């Protein structure tokens, strides 16, 4: 760890895959922009590194043995089957306190490795790179075999002499890995529906409480991140989970609750449309008007006239 003058520990920053492998006591990678690490090959003490580090490259890890509990929102879920986790560049990584010795693989690849390929632009669509470790992908035995076969293909390609086709083959394998992960996350959203339904219910309660509180929106409209922070999940995971189970994004849920509240005020008060807009956190009444008309297919004033 790097220590500041005040004694505060700062995360270790690894700007290259070679630097990380050196810190792990491993040989230099065959290719400077991609490497596959088998955890059983790491012999050095990684305690200090595990306290916090930043990578300038992508990291996809399968850890075979976890212990303890992982939190989903306000609840906890016991698991031991291990999981697949994803980290984008410049995200802080730290070992969880529950985490013990494990085996598995870590795939590391630099953004430059995929930059001139379609994947370089499309990788942002894989939302799980923004998930927290508590939102890892837990695989069935059948799914593990599929993922491990992709890791095996990558390992075999990296052990082959580099030629003009190496990068094409490796990137195609990364895409296969990401697409399978997308599919398996879709399955996980469904199979853990009870846990997720509790999250949805808690979110709906929170939204209702916010819109009941007259001062809650005084500083601006309700943000997706605020809801995710309240539920103690990542914003991207919450959004993907909601879209999978309800067909709506987090923002659409917010808008739905906002329109309900706007209808209530329009039908039961004499507040002007501008006053209603400000009370709901809008800086400009025109923005409220546009949203209302998009959702309700009539303007706020036209809606109010239905009750006169």
Residue 142 vs residue 80, higher pLDDT? 142
pLDDT score of 138: 86
pLDDT of 27-50, one tens digit each? 998 899 999 998 888 888 777 776
pLDDT of 132-150, one tens digit each? 877 888 888 899 899 999 9
Q: If 0-12 CB within 10 Å is exposed, 13-18 middle and 19+ buried, where does residue 99 land?
A: middle
Please, what CATH class does the domain formed by 194-305 belong to? mainly alpha
On the question of a common fold for 10-191 and 194-305, the answer reads no
pLDDT of 263-297, one tens digit each? 999 999 999 999 999 989 898 999 999 999 999 99
Q: Say whether pLDDT at 218 is over 70.
A: yes
pLDDT of 46-57, one tens digit each? 777 767 788 999
Note the CATH number of domain 10-191.
2.60.120
Range of lowest pLDDT (35-44, 118-127, 256-265): 35-44
Confidence of residue 2 (pLDDT cuts 50, 70, 90): very low
Residue 194 vs residue 34, higher pLDDT? 34
Domain boundaries, the chain: 10-191, 194-305
pLDDT score of 41: 87
pTM for the model: 0.77
Confidence of residue 73 (pLDDT cuts 50, 70, 90): very low
Mean per-residue pLDDT for 55-79? 64
């Amino acid at each position: 760890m790097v220590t500041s003058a005040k004694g505060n520990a700062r995360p270790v920053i690894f700007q290259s895959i070679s630097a990380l492998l050196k810190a792990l006591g491993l040989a230099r990678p065959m290719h400077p922009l991609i490497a596959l690490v088998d955890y059983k090959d790491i012999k050095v003490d990684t305690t200090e590194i595990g306290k916090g580090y930043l990578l300038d490259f992508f990291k996809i890890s399968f850890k075979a043995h976890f212990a303890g509990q992982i939190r989903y929102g306000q609840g906890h879920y016991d698991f031991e089957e291990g999981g697949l986790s994803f980290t984008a560049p410049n995200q802080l990584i730290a070992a969880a306190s529950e985490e013990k010795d494990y085996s598995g693989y870590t795939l590391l690849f630099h953004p430059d490795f995929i930059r001139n390929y379609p994947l370089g632009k499309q990788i942002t669509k894989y939302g799980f790179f923004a998930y927290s470790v508590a939102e890892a992908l837990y695989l069935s035995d059948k799914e593990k075999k599929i993922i491990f076969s992709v890791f095996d293909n990558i390992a075999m390609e990296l052990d082959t002499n580099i030629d003009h086709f190496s990068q094409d083959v490796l990137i195609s394998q990364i895409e296969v890995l990401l697409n399978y992960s997308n599919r398996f996350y879709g399955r996980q959203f469904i199979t853990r529906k009870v846990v997720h339904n509790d999250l949805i219910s808690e979110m709906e309660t929170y939204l209702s409480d916010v819109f009941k509180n007259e001062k809650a929106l005084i500083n601006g409209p309700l943000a997706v991140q605020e809801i995710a922070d309240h539920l103690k999940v990542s914003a991207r995971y919450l959004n993907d989970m909601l879209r999978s189970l309800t067909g709506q994004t987090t923002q659409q849920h917010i808008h739905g609750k906002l329109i309900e509240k706007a209808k209530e005020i329009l039908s039961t008060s004499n507040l002007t449309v501008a006053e209603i807009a400000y009370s709901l956190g809008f800086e400009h009444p025109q923005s409220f008007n546009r949203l209302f008309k998009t959702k309700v297919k009539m303007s706020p004033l036209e809606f109010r006239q239905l009750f006169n």
